[in-house]
Structure 1
């Protein structure tokens, strides 16, 4: 595989993600009428544990809202003794698409519908391990001699395809890659040609069914060279990985993968938390508190944060904080305003591929915290997509900071877009703010409030309500 330099890769990755959208205007709840429809889309949504038929039904709506990609849960045959979501992360047979989420036919129809709507499907891939030996599909599915598997009933594997059972020592790279998650998930020898061959066949099968990309679960528990090799035969597929760490310097160097930006999540939690300083968000990449834009899938919540409970989900220095942005460690109550403000930040900034989490539809309504069609998110998505420009939407308007306080930050996107986030309870007054915005009238995309930029580029007077985020574009 040819090595791609960072700038060239940025162009290639962004080009792959951007999907041309018809220019007709659609009414979207949460977006002021007459705000232009973007020419491109560049937003991923995780429809966590949704059935393939359910995803197929919402694809037209996702397109209308401005999503370009859908992250779907693992489709391979899995441990169906475990009906809960984590059973899908316990593979049994990679040659079969079947299980609680739907059949192979359902999966194929979902992909066909996605193609017809100009939406790309990204599949969750679990290749570091198979099933949990403490909740096997049937008795004696796996047997041991001491800590070594001596017999098993996985259709594609032999006992020699598994590492010896052992607890992970996070300080030992070899242990991280060869021991068992939770000392229970049967760890595959992903270094072996046989296991890699099965992985390649699985990815090719998925692409043959219409899949456009992959999210690799537990990526840090697999050898870095694995990804380039198994992705070689699916060269047009996008891929990103899960590495849960708060320090950007601890991420493996894998050219074939982008990554969830967990360091940025940790930074946002500190910044948006009580007593935190929003100025920490300005130079997050330079301060190693966020991944570089070309490698970052930027998010506020995903299923690791929403459902994670173990210490290894930790996002602070002491690995005690298991919940990410918007959670209080004492009460575990989710503060939706903090979550929305953090979403405003990732949609308002130049770097990264924004990613939205949507909860399981099987949850009771009062437990469904996250919705892909939240009206404020719809406005943020519209703003983000309107910031894409140039041929195929590759060009990005740069961030130019104009407001820098502990509780309020504001920045231009180029010369005709503006973002302000105010986490304080009090109104933030803007008076005679110097900018390089083009003079004229602007409109806030969610409420429609007017903002005037004078001939000298100043914003003479504009008030930002407490606990809110404002995104403005030229008024049509």
Structure 2
């Protein structure tokens, strides 16, 4: 029976690829997000003009909360001590506001929105497993240095604590990541006796404080929220926090890590219900896994023709697309997902060339992997792909040709993208009638050359080995 189901699925995929005209995308707005991972807020502000000139439309920044300012390890920003103030190794409320102002612009076309990474699932693992936050030492500091801390305050009364032991779920560690109840109500623990991150209970008090937190950030000018560890929160809790007032005018997307799309247990148990029961966007892990499979040994780039048609990519208007996230290189459990550098380059051409989703460009400050992603936001290939991406806004998408090694697709009449993962050049002869401008140069954004000039009803596009071409109409 399983063999029959597998064969049926394969035939269905082939049928969809053959009969679908593949003019899809819905003209979705797909403005790119720079993930300034663990950058100091002052660094983002200092580079505001450069970020605008490169063409980014949003920057995702470090969580605005109080964490251990004496420890600059990136994960400290994901262990909140207090959400009523902003103070950590990468900045405080003053630098946060200054960054927002620096990214603003009198010219709306150049304005860059700030998306805040927010941590709502848990508090810090510290002080011997205590569950009173922020703790007496912090309250004493608030009192003795009230001038400073009032300047960092977002909301609330700093003379009192925020959360008490009854605001947390029982101190049980998740042991079965396929059990939805455990994943959404128990603690993330590191093993070897680790007591885990205190998991917040969605009672009325907790929800009220979380709403106040998001409202305060919104009032400062934040335009979007990345919900960290959304997989570990119930959809009911998420919907209680994100009222229509908070969501109005905001871009909200959740982090729900899965190892596949439709048919995958993680997708069926967590991501699919999240999309069905909220109106939020999400990281497109189904597409990421499709990309990895397509570029992997034995994979076929035909898998990238229309993966959403068979549930292996999110719908365009719900997707944040990527080739690497901060968790992949910085967490041992996800490092197997790191792509070969050339494959990552080619995958970026796909993500930045296609219509749909908001591409997220990871630019690291930790220096992991010999600084591989440090300053990635302005790498030559990224800036050129971003230029192409912005040129193609509002253009539909049609797949023109594909095989195991390569794909070719157009963006309206304005552009065409070719990607070749194999070790020999690939040629595709396509009908150009009504698809392209004739007697006009198309220039490759990546090289500035490799001109295409169409003067008849057919043209053969050539894509070199292990390369991409992103031609745009001059």
Aligned to 2:406: 408
Pick which of 211-220 and 174-183 moved more.
174-183
- C-alpha separation between the residues in 1 aligned to 2:236 and 2:221? 25
**1:455–1:291 distance in 2 versus 1, CA, 3 Å:** same
Aligned residue pair count: 400
Once the 2 structures are TM-superposed, how far is the Cα of residue 415 of structure 1 from its aligned partner?
Answer: 2.5
Q: TM-score, normalised by structure 1?
A: 0.79
- C-alpha separation between the residues in 2 aligned to 1:178 and 1:359? 31
Q: Which runs of 5+ in 1 are unaligned?
A: 1-9, 18-41, 144-148, 314-321, 327-334, 390-396
Aligned to 2:123: 130
- C-alpha separation between the residues in 2 aligned to 1:55 and 1:45? 10
Q: Are 1:186 and 2:198 an aligned pair?
A: yes
Once the 2 structures are TM-superposed, how far is the Cα of residue 388 of structure 1 from its aligned partner?
Answer: 1.1
CA contact (8 A) 2:27 2:355 kept: no
Give the SS at the match of 1:92. Answer: coil
Once the 2 structures are TM-superposed, how far is the Cα of residue 404 of structure 1 from its aligned partner?
Answer: 0.9
Q: Are 1:273 and 2:311 an aligned pair?
A: no
Aligned to 1:242: 255
**1:188-203 residue pairs with structure 2 within 5 A?**
188-189=200-201, 191-203=202-214
- C-alpha separation between the residues in 2 aligned to 1:347 and 1:84? 31
CA contact (8 A) 1:258 1:297 kept: yes
Aligned to 2:384: 379
CA contact (8 A) 1:411 1:420 kept: yes
Give the SS at the match of 1:107. Answer: helix
Q: Are 1:174 and 2:186 an aligned pair?
A: no
Q: Are 1:433 and 2:430 an aligned pair?
A: yes
Question: Which is strand-richer, 1 or 2?
Answer: 1
CA contact (8 A) 1:129 1:187 kept: yes
User: Per-residue CA shift, 1:414-439, capped at 9, x if unaligned?
Assistant: 23311100111222234x43233232
Once the 2 structures are TM-superposed, how far is the Cα of residue 241 of structure 1 from its aligned partner?
Answer: 0.4
Instruction: Please provide the CA RMSD for this pair.
Output: 2.4
CA contact (8 A) 1:152 1:158 kept: no
Q: TM-score, normalised by structure 2?
A: 0.79
| Equivalent position to 2:228, from 217, 220, 231 | 217
Give the SS at the match of 2:257. Answer: coil
- C-alpha separation between the residues in 2 aligned to 1:157 and 1:238? 28
Q: Are 1:470 and 2:465 an aligned pair?
A: no
Q: Which runs of 5+ in 2 are unaligned?
A: 1-24, 139-160, 190-194
- C-alpha separation between the residues in 2 aligned to 1:90 and 1:466? 45
CA contact (8 A) 1:444 1:470 kept: yes
- C-alpha separation between the residues in 2 aligned to 1:94 and 1:151? 9
Question: Which 4+ runs in 1 deviate beyond 6 A?
Answer: 10-13, 149-152
Once the 2 structures are TM-superposed, how far is the Cα of residue 141 of structure 1 from its aligned partner?
Answer: 6.1
- C-alpha separation between the residues in 1 aligned to 2:229 and 2:133? 25
Give the SS at the match of 1:214. Answer: strand
